[in-house]
Each structure stands twice: as C-alpha cells, then as structure tokens.
C-alpha cells in the first residue's frame, strides 16, 4: 500500500510540475516562475486596465460615456475593479469564484481593501467576468451589430465573439491540484488534459447536448421561461443558460401568455429595451417586453439567417440561436411533427400565441362564417429604427381539408391579414 501511495503521490507531483509549465499567466510586476503566455493586445488591455483606474474626464464632468455607462474606466467606487494577478506560488491575488461577504456593493468599500482574497461584487460583476480565469474563455450566445459590438453586452462584452476572440483560461494552482487528484482517483489521469477543464464550456456543452433542447418546439416553448435555480451571479453558464437570471432576460411562455412580436411602447424606446416593470399591464400585456421575447416569438423565431453562420460558418449560440442556420429552418410552413407536452407543436403555439380578435373581425378578414385563429404578420411599430428579423413573416393555421383546398384558404387568409388595418 505504501508503494502504491508513493507512486500516486509522485505521479501527482509530476503532473503538477508539468501543468505549472503549461499554465498561462498575464505578465505582472512580480518575476514569474511559471511559463507566461503572451496575451493578445486587446485582451491584455482589458485584463490589465478595464475599470481599474478612475475616468479623468468624469472628474471634470466631461465624460460622454456616463449614460449609458460604457466608459472603459470607472466613475464610482462600486464600479472599480482590481487587476487580477497570478502570484509566484501559482495562486490568484483574489479568488475567481468565491465572493467577499464584507464588500459593500453600494459604496464599493471592503475592510481589507485591495488585499481581500475574495471577489468583490462590483457593478456589472466585472471582477469575475474579466478575471484571468474566465475572460473570453467561452463563446457569447448573442450576436454582434454592424459595428461588431455585442447586441446584449455592448462594446465591452467579456465573452468571445468568434474563435479568433477566444483565449485559454488561467488556472489557480489549487484548481489544477484538485483536478489532477480527481483524475487519478478515476483512473483517467493518462487521458486527462494538463490544462484542466474549462468549466464554463463544459457545463454549457452539457446543456446544449441535452436531448430536449435539441427539439425546436421545446426551445420555442421553454427557453428563458423559468428562473435559474442557481444562486444569483453564481451560474457558470452565464448567457448560455436556458433559464432567465433577471427581468430583462425573462421570457413569457407563448403557451401561457398571448402577446404579439411588437415591442411594448412602455418598455422599448428607440433601440433600447428598458425594464419590463415599466409596463403597468405586466405579464398580461399583449406586446413584447424583452429582446428575448421578440427574438423567440413564434412570428419571428428562425425567420432570418444567422450572421455568424453566414460569415464564419459557426454559431456560438448553438441550439439557443433564434436565427436560422439552414434554409429549411426558414420555411414558412415549418411542418414540425414532433409533439411537445400534451401534443403541442410549433403550429399550435403559433396559432394560439397571439391575442384573439373578436369573431366579427375574423369573419370579415377570412371571407367566411368560420372562426379563424391564424397568426398575423408582425410589425415593430413606429419606434423601431429598423425592421426586425421576421417582420415580413406570415404563419398559417392547420385545417383538416385537402392540401389544395387548404393552400387556397391559406392564400386568402394571408391576403386578408395583409389588408387588415388592425394589424398595422
């Protein structure tokens, strides 16, 4: 037993030494004993300087990036971020995962100041997001605009947009030791990577590979409709989590609530989405309250092609992308036979999601005495600067008739919808 124990101990020590030589470290003032990796200039700038110093223009009341707050530097103390450093012993100057219980999120003060070995909950959680351990180590699930900025997180997104924007994580020596001990205990040490697992990518991939999320119907009916069960700010999946983390991330289930793809005028002003709580109608409002609700609305979902797939041939959002990756996903009919709970499929969701019009209006629009519940086209309203993806989209309602007759009825219904002034 002693021989076996010594062999295991020696193996662990050897693996730790090998891992130390492969660890990546942002250069610091201290002389590094471990091999350092040269960071890309842009990454290095964010790791070293983002929100570390106070904005000099703000002190002169001249900073134009205060509202909305997009300044590279901090304006108030609770926005201040400490620069992360891996010390000579292989540990971080402050943890990448454990938060300080003494830090005041309002004043930005901690009794131990910069010597505190724990994360400070700064505004925007910048100490964790821009930590050596996590910054740009996994793909962002959101698209970029024409300027190349993340549509969700703006110009300072802490997640990678494209493979060229990825960087390898820097690991704390304790994390490596724990990983190696676990690898040896499971007798899988020979196949384990010395660099250790990227926890963010690992957990996100497990979620993406869940069979239920491979079903488009399930994504459409369930994505972001339930609150994440993990404690606030501790979900490692971040924006790749299919559950919502706050009110702006939340989406009302189209199976329970009826609302159009048009943004609520009380919530969205111009291109900016405000707080859903600004709408007095709450969940009973007949319009979208969040960007997620609009992009994953049955009228718009998968109605335009994904820019990432077109430009790079790869989409970091995977199954949670609201845009089409192949032409077949853009089919107006989208005859998806895979049932959801109680046999609900995409066509049923689409026909039931919109607020019903009265029978008189329906009869005049479809040209018959029968009640029709076909989904309408979507308009984003006058407060939208550009037409949202899928605004031109029409849907259909299924009727138990011969295909040719059904198509003719569908054509008449779509014409009626186009001319219906109630849907402008």
First to last CA, the chain: 80
Q: What is the pLDDT of residues 15-36, one digit of tens each?
A: 555 544 544 445 444 444 445 6
pLDDT at 255: 84
Closest CA to 320 of 385, 254, 236, 242: 242
More confident residue, 34 or 297: 297
The winner for highest mean pLDDT among 206-210, 299-303, 401-405 is 299-303
pLDDT at 320: 82
Return the biggest CA–CA distance within the chain. Answer: 88
* Residue 84 reports pLDDT greater than 60: yes
pLDDT band at 383 (very low <50, low <70, confident <90, very high): very low
pLDDT at 181: 73
* Residue 196 reports pLDDT greater than 50: no
Q: Residue 14: how many CA atoms within 13 Å on its side-chain side?
A: 9
Closest CA to 188 of 15, 18, 21: 15
CA distances from 364 to 276, 354, 358, 371, 409 (A): 35, 18, 10, 10, 14
Task: Please give the Cα distance from 245 to 234 (Å, whole number).
Answer: 10
pTM of the model: 0.44
Q: What is the pLDDT of residues 108-125, one digit of tens each?
A: 999 999 999 999 999 888
Lowest mean pLDDT among 66-80, 86-100, 121-135, 329-343: 329-343
Place of tokens 């101990």: 9
* Residue 5 reports pLDDT greater than 60: no
Task: Please give the Cα distance from 327 to 312 (Å, whole number).
Answer: 16
68 cis-preceded (ω within 30 degrees of 0): yes
Q: What is the pLDDT of residues 224-234, one digit of tens each?
A: 999 988 765 56
The residue-averaged pLDDT of 45-61 equals: 94
pLDDT at 397: 38
pLDDT at 50: 96
* Residue 205 reports pLDDT greater than 60: no
Closest CA to 286 of 387, 391, 152, 381: 381
């Amino acid at each position: 037993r002693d021989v076996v124990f010594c062999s295991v101990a020696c193996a662990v020590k050897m693996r730790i030494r090998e891992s130390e030589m492969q660890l990546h470290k942002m250069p610091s003032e201290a002389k590094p004993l471990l091999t350092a990796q040269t960071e890309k200039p842009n990454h290095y700038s964010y790791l070293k300087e983002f929100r570390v110093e106070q904005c000099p223009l703000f002190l002169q009341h001249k900073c134009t990036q205060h509202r909305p707050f997009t300044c590279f530097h901090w304006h108030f103390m609770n926005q201040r971020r400490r620069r992360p450093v891996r010390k000579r012993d292989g540990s971080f100057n402050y943890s990448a995962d454990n938060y300080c219980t003494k830090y005041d999120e309002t004043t930005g003060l901690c009794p131990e100041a910069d010597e505190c070995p724990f994360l400070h909950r700064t505004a925007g959680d910048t100490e964790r997001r821009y930590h050596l351990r996590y910054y740009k180590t996994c793909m962002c699930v959101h698209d970029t605009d024409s300027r190349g900025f993340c549509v969700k997180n703006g110009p300072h997104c802490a997640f990678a947009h494209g493979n060229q924007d990825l960087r390898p994580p820097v690991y704390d020596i304790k994390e490596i030791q724990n990983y190696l001990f676990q690898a040896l205990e499971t007798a899988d040490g020979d196949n384990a990577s010395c660099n250790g697992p990227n926890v963010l990518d690992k957990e996100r991939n497990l979620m993406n590979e869940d069979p239920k999320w491979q079903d488009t119907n399930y994504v459409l009916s369930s994505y972001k409709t339930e609150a994440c069960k993990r404690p606030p700010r501790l979900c490692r999946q971040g924006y790749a989590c299919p559950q919502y983390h706050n009110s702006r991330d939340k989406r009302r289930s189209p199976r329970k609530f009826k609302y159009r793809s048009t943004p609520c005028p009380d919530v969205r002003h111009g291109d900016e989405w405000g707080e859903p709580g600004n709408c007095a109608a709450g969940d009973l409002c007949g319009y979208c309250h969040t960007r997620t609700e609009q992009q994953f609305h049955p009228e718009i979902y998968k109605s335009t092609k994904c820019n990432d797939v077109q430009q790079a041939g790869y989409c970091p959002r995977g199954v949670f992308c609201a845009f089409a990756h192949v032409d077949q996903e853009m089919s107006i009919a989208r005859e998806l036979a895979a049932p959801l709970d109680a046999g609900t499929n995409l066509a049923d969701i689409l026909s039931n999601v919109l607020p019903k019009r009265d029978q008189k209006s329906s009869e005049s629009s479809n040209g018959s005495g029968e009640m029709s519940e076909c989904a309408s086209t979507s308009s984003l309203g006058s407060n939208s600067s550009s037409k949202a993806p899928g605004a031109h989209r029409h849907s259909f309602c299924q009727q138990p008739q011969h295909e040719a007759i059904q198509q003719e009825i569908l054509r008449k219904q779509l014409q009626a919808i186009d001319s219906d002034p109630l849907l402008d």
